[in-house]
Amino acid sequence: MTRPASDPTRRALLAAGAVAACALVLAACTRTGAGDDGAADPDAAGTAAAPSDGPRVDGTVAEGLDNPWSIAFLPDDTALVSERDTGAIRSIAAEAGGAASPGVPPVLGVVPGVVHGGEGGLLGLVASPDFTTDRLLYVYFTADDGNRVSRFEVGPQGLGAEQPVLTRIPSAGNHNGGRIKFGPDGMLYVGTGDAANRDASQNPDSPAGKILRLDPGGEGVALPVEASGGLAHTTGHRNVQGLAWDADGRMWATEFGPDRDDELNLVEPGANYGWPAVTGAEGEGYTPAVHVWPSTADASPSALAIVDGVAYVACLRGQRLWRLPLPGPGREAEAGGTLPGAAEFLRGDYGRLRDVVVAPRGAAAGDGPELWVATNEGGASRILRVTLAEGG
């Protein structure tokens, strides 16, 4: 549902629509300012009603969290959770996953130099692929000189000294990106936003509005690396906050649209996804989205997890969890922007959903796949345990 941005009449209509949409968002917003984190009416129309055999919440793992942003599991099944506004990283012990009376997890450490403002603060977390030997935790956060990725050694006393990895990623009150993941190739992938400068997404010299790729432990790599467009794996993004890989090794990303056209994209090296010239599933010269939510009130996708060929997308404004069966390799374009079988769950039941990750515990116990979902409810946020029905 792509709309080129070059037509003056169209721009005027879009501007008027954007003003109206912003007014609605500001009226509904409860805990955050304007931007992709805005709240919405959970009764907004969706693409499909929830089937009865889908994901269900089976309990609360932790509560009393202050705007958790990212969940990262360690090899021993300990979960670490970032709090955007406080800069704290909390630790959930492996046995807490089945606790009957969850509480507030203890603080492992506070990341120094976090500057919270708007959508900025302490954002993404990911453990090193070699964590059992190097004990390194990678962290994406907003500092006084922009967004950055740093790493910390995790020890008995908490976090060690900061080791900056990637610095001077542009920051703003919104569109900060922030999701970081290690891929199957061992490389670190970093989703950035356009930092409220839409032209930066198409600027080859800027790291903003990109998915960046680097090897933080590579031979001859001197840290910290100053972020640049030369690290771009893909370009033309507005605000990437969901990254995941499927069993075929394909990389997928979710992205916030402006007042329309949230996206699920198949990430291909060197691809340009069109922002700000186009949004959605069409656009000559750009890579189209595989799935598009025409209304951001139905989605605003903040995180992505993939289980058995099915994508699960946590949504902020949409206040729901989407289930999207992914097409097979080579068939991604057949959907034309609407994946068959897309369905929504938990709609409006738990407020805004910030993160979704695959938990290692359910599979290890033989109980089938399990998701952990972080809510975005200010100081009363929770981590929910979500079980998947057989077949998704």
Quote the percentage of the chain above a pLDDT of 70. 84
Of the pLDDT bands very low, low, confident and very high (cuts 50, 70, 90), residue 365 is: low
The more confident residue out of 338 and 47 is: 338
Measuring CA to CA, which residue among 287, 295, 388 is closest to residue 345? Answer: 388
Which tokens go with 153? Answer: 């050694």
Please write the tens of the pLDDT for every residue from 24-48.
333 333 333 347 876 555 554 444 5
pLDDT single digits (tens) 93-117: 987 665 556 889 999 999 999 999 9
> Where do we find the tokens 């936003």?
193
Q: Which long-range contacts (CB under 8 A, 24 or more apart) does 157-160 make?
A: 158/108, 158/109, 159/89, 159/108, 159/109, 159/110, 159/111
**Both tokens of residue 345?**
């769950």
pLDDT at 49: 55
Query: Is residue 27 within 8 Å of residue 38, measured between CB atoms?
Result: no
Write out pLDDT tens, residues 207-239. Answer: 999 999 999 998 889 999 999 999 999 999 999
pLDDT tens profile 146-200: 999 999 999 999 999 999 999 999 999 999 999 999 999 999 999 999 999 999 9
Is the peptide bond preceding residue 156 cis, with omega within 30 degrees of 0?
no
Residue 13 is predicted with a pLDDT of 35
Beta strands 158-159 and 146-155, pairing class: antiparallel
